[in-house]
Amino acid sequence: MTLRIEIEDLAKHFGEIKAVDGVSFSVNKGEVLGFLGPNGAGKSTTMKMITGFLAPTRGTVRVCGHDVLTDPIAVKASLGYLPEGAPAYADMTPDGFLRFIADIRGLSGADKKRAVASAAERAQIKTVMFQPIETLSKGYKRRVGLAQAILHNPPVLILDEPTDGLDPNQKHEVRTLINEMALDKAIIISTHILEEVNAMCTRNVVIANGLIQFDGTPNQLEAMSDYHNAVCVSVANIDGDTLASFLNNLNFIVRVEPLSLERGFRVYPADGRQITVELSQAIRTNGWQIDSLYAENGRLDEVFRTITTGTTGSLRSSI
Amino acid sequence: MNMRNIWFIMKRELSGYFATPVAYVFIIIFLLLTGFSTFFVGNFFERGEADLYPFFSVHPWIYVLLIPAISMRLWSEERKNGSIELLMTLPVSVFEAVLGKFLAAWAFTGIALLLNFPLWITVNYLGSPDNGVIFTGFLGSFLMAGGFLAIGACISATTKNQVIAFVLSLIVSLIFVLSGYGIVLDFFSSWAPTPLIHAISSFSFLTHFDAISKGVIDMRDILYFASVIMVWLFANAIVVNARKAD
């Protein structure tokens, strides 16, 4: 494991407002860190401090060993950054824009040509390379920004909402691209699309009110849901009341509730463990026929709401 | 300071001028204004002199009006559309970016200035002017344009609104010109001590430009414009640093 990003006690105050108030975490090579949080939680502000755009009020940021305060140019050289909204020079074409970025990144000659072609290929913007950026759709603009960020094959990528404004196919392609690049890079992605947590990230940091509320794997995040490992079950040849009282008497079940949209019940396991096997065996020993039986993964939106509205306080889990 | 970065930023900026009609509109208006005022305000023919004095003498006033139109977009546009975040997270220093953008605008003004060459051909066809004086005239005009541009670039970094940048630059530029203008100095001479009047007039672009455009190359005049440019560009870098993320 190589440490690529180290953040210690990072804070940014705008007058009275504490946008970020003491955030610490680190990212290794091979990790894709999903940065979650409601709007205004401090995600973008944190990213702006990592990339050296905003000076922190306190705390340190090191990227590939370089301190962003003492050696900002080295930090900027070792990372690719897609800012929020994917800004670019509207009157340039993607081709001209990427060649400018390549120049600034110190690429020339055949290397430059290869880097521009490969970034355009991977971000799938080859068909629009010679149209002014201002005439492109939101999805293409976003991918031009992405191409710009990956152009010089940087060891660290900071992507602020890379899939915002993309259609489902484009989202899928961007996620595939990020998964491909994940092996030899350290990547931070901010998003508020919860499905992306499982699709891309190896780790999640949830931030709200300028503080880290959770730091762990996507599975750990899911495990915090009440629905985690809950089982929905319905039985064909028995009436509801009998089934309900039977389920209530099982010692590994703490709660039984009827499903609202279909026949059957949702049961919650005693200590959050998996109970599908035990449950199906118990039902079969009575000679009943199982109609359907499936476990739930946990609902991220519910976990997200619980964490970020602060109703349960800090839920930082150990990694 | 990385010269390559300055060059790449300058190149991008300069090609940006020609990617839109802005450059062509500016050049045409500039040539129309200089031509019109040379012949009708400066009475080029009636004077019967083989020089370009009527041409150069109107430059300060044309620059006050037109240079803010070039400089207004330098930074406020970047701040408005957010591309400043991209530029400032590339491995370039603030001063490299400031210098690259300024040099692009200056080179563009230089191109517009050189496109007045038919006037030089005309005066050489009609008489035998002192081409050395004409050369220093162009040099002085170019230096003065740099001064106006540096003022405008710095002011452009203070706001996201190009119209505000234009108006403020025009006013500040006007102050730098008027402080050497006869009527303004007369106003002061009635009550202010002489050293103060000298100080005011020595701050004016007019005073220093007049000397150069008459063929007198004094190192002090050149140093004056060079230091005006450097001071404003330095302020520009400070403003960009302070306001880039607002």
Q: pLDDT digits over A36-68, tens only?
A: 988 888 899 999 999 999 999 999 999 999 999
Per the CB < 8 Å rule, is B91 touching A89?
no
Taking CA A169 as the corner, what is the angle to CA A165 and CA A173, rounded to the nearest 5 degrees? 90
Of B8, B83, B85, the CB nearest to A89: B83
Q: What is the pLDDT of residues A257-311, one digit of tens each?
A: 888 777 788 888 887 788 888 888 888 888 888 888 888 877 777 888 888 886 5
Distance from CA of A250 to the nearest CA of B (A): 59
> Can you give the pLDDT at residue A310?
61
Of A53, A92, A100, the CB nearest to B245: A53
The residue among A100, A104, A151 with the most chain B CBs within 10 A of its CB, best to mutate, is: A104
Task: Specify which of A72-86, A214-228, A263-277, B181-195 reaches the highest per-range mean pLDDT.
Answer: A72-86
What is the rounded (10 degree) CA torsion for A123, A129, A131, A137?
A: -10
Is B222 within 8 Å of B146 (Cβ atoms)?
Answer: no
Cβ–Cβ contact A46 with B under 8 A: no
Cβ neighbours of A74 in B, within 8 Å: 91
Fold classified for A1-215: Rossmann fold (3.40.50)
Q: Is A35 helix (H, G, I), strand (E, B) or coil?
A: strand
Give the lowest-confidence range in A121-125, A137-141, A161-165, A310-314.
Answer: A310-314
In the block, tokens 């234009």 appear at B166
Of A48, A73, A92, the CB nearest to B91: A73
Per the CB < 8 Å rule, is B93 touching A73?
yes
Distance from CA of A23 to the nearest CA of B (A): 20
> Can you give the pLDDT at residue A313?
41
Of A84, A87, A104, the CB nearest to B90: A104
The answer to whether residue A200 scores a pLDDT higher than 50 is yes
Average pLDDT, chain A: 88
Cα separation, B215 vs A2, in Å, equals 66
Of B5, B8, B82, the CB nearest to A83: B82
Q: Order of strands across the sheet with A203-208?
A: A79-82, A156-160, A186-191, A32-36, A203-208, A211-216
> Can you give the pLDDT at residue B152?
97
In the block, tokens 């050497």 appear at B180
Cβ neighbours of A91 in B, within 8 Å: 16, 19-20
User: Can you point out the beta strands (E) in chain A?
Assistant: 3-14, 17-28, 32-36, 58-63, 66-67, 79-82, 156-160, 186-191, 203-208, 211-216, 231-235, 253-258, 265-269, 290-295
Distance from CA of A78 to the nearest CA of B (A): 9
Distance from CA of A55 to the nearest CA of B (A): 10
**Hey, which residues 69-108 in chain B have their CB within 8 Å of chain A?**
81-83, 85-86, 88-93
pTM: predicted TM-score of the whole model, two decimal places: 0.87
Cβ neighbours of A106 in B, within 8 Å: 4, 91
CATH code of the domain occupying A228-295: 3.30.70.100
Cβ–Cβ contact B29 with A under 8 A: no
Q: Order of strands across the sheet with A66-67?
A: A17-28, A3-14, A58-63, A66-67
Cβ–Cβ contact B1 with A under 8 A: no
Residues of chain B with pLDDT under 70: none
Write out B176-211 in H/E/C secondary structure.
HHHCCCHHHHHHHHCCCCHHHHHHHHHCCHHHHHHH
Confidence bin at A1 (pLDDT 50/70/90): low
Q: Encoding tokens for residue B105?
A: 């605008």
Cβ–Cβ contact B20 with A under 8 A: yes
Give the residue on B whose Cα is nearest the Cα of A103: B8
The answer to whether residue A312 scores a pLDDT higher than 50 is no
- Residue boundaries of the structural domains of chain A: 1-215, 228-295
Cβ–Cβ contact A85 with B under 8 A: yes
Chain-centre distance of CA A152, in angstroms? 23
Per the CB < 8 Å rule, is B12 touching A51?
no
> Can you give the pLDDT at residue A311?
53
Of B8, B85, B86, the CB nearest to A103: B8
